[in-house]
Structure 1
Amino acid sequence: MTNLMKQISRPIALTATAAAGLLMTLTAAPSAMADTGSPAPECVEYFQSWRYTNVHNGCGDTVSVAVEYTNGQWAPCRVLQPGEWATFAGYGTDGNYVTGLRTCDPTSGA
């Protein structure tokens, strides 16, 4: 191997190693789903469109909810006062529909 090839292949190898380490970190990270609780009360409703998912707290108490999507992704936990609305991502052009709402702990970062 020539000296020039060694100089070129070393940065490529370092970049590949760094990328592999980043991917392992991302796949090993716990999902937000781990911090969700039970299904949200029936008085908490959602209305979805391709752009937005609007969640309304029709309960008499404050609730903390997270939105689950068909691809397994979870929206961050939001605290809703009685009568309050919150806006989350919609299903988009790829059809990532909401599968449900779950209670969550807003202090856990989920």
Structure 2
Amino acid sequence: MSTNEFSQERHDITREIETLILQRVARVSQKVIALEAGCSESTVSRWNDGEYQRWAQVLATLGLRVVPQDAMVVTAEYLSALETMARIGLKAEKKRPGPLGWD
């Protein structure tokens, strides 16, 4: 991967992280975040002026992602294995003879 491709990928990941953070801030509210962070609501409001983007850049640089709490995160290797098993299963299903009476 070239430096330019790496930079673009990291930029895309940074944007993805920042977008998720901003969506969640809007959903939870700045007031709740301020209470949990132990700061004023105006401080949280100022974070919209680049602070979330800075956090997102750091996370992307560290190779980390932000995902919703209910998300299931799997490795690329696991996903590839699952795709292989699904492909094999679909091939077998297509080769299966007609209804066997208990289907």
Q: Same fold (TM over 0.5)?
A: no
Superposition TM-score, scaled by structure 1 size: 0.27
Superposition TM-score, scaled by structure 2 size: 0.28
Larger Rg computed on CA atoms: 2
Structure with higher helix content: 2
Structure with higher strand content: 1
